[in-house]
Amino acid sequence: MSKARIFNPPKSATQSGQSRSDGWVLEHAPKVPKRIDPLTGWWGSTDMSREVSLHFETLEAAVAYAKAEGLDYEVEARPQVPAIQPKSYADNFRTDRRQNWTH
């Protein structure tokens, strides 16, 4: 029986917003260990399932797919996402401001 990992991918280091951070990804566990190619010295494998990652809108859809395909799966917990506090540039110039100006 094949094994799979279901997880919520983190946003990239260059991404500041929350766009495209809601989906779930299913990746297959490696079936064959990597080996060094004697000609080039690079790591490689003949296992093509490592190249496949399936994207799903919801965790339930990913789990349903894994069950339908007979995959033994493991779900990684979603990391805590800090709450976004909306800010307005105009609040810097309010007359009833409680904090001192810093400039």
Q: How far apart are CA 66 and CA 72, in angstroms?
A: 7
Q: Where are the alpha helices (DSSP H) in the chain?
A: 59-68
**pTM given for the model:** 0.66
Q: Which pLDDT value is given to residue 20? A: 63
Q: How far apart are CA 103 and CA 93, in angstroms?
A: 12
Q: Which residues have CB under 8 Å from 103's CB, separation 6+?
A: none
Tokens of 83: 């709450």
Q: 53-91 pLDDT, tens per residue?
A: 999 999 999 999 999 999 999 999 877 777 778 888 888
Q: Which pLDDT value is given to residue 59? A: 92
- Domain 1-10+22-30+42-77: give its CATH superfamily: atu1810 like domain (3.30.160.190)
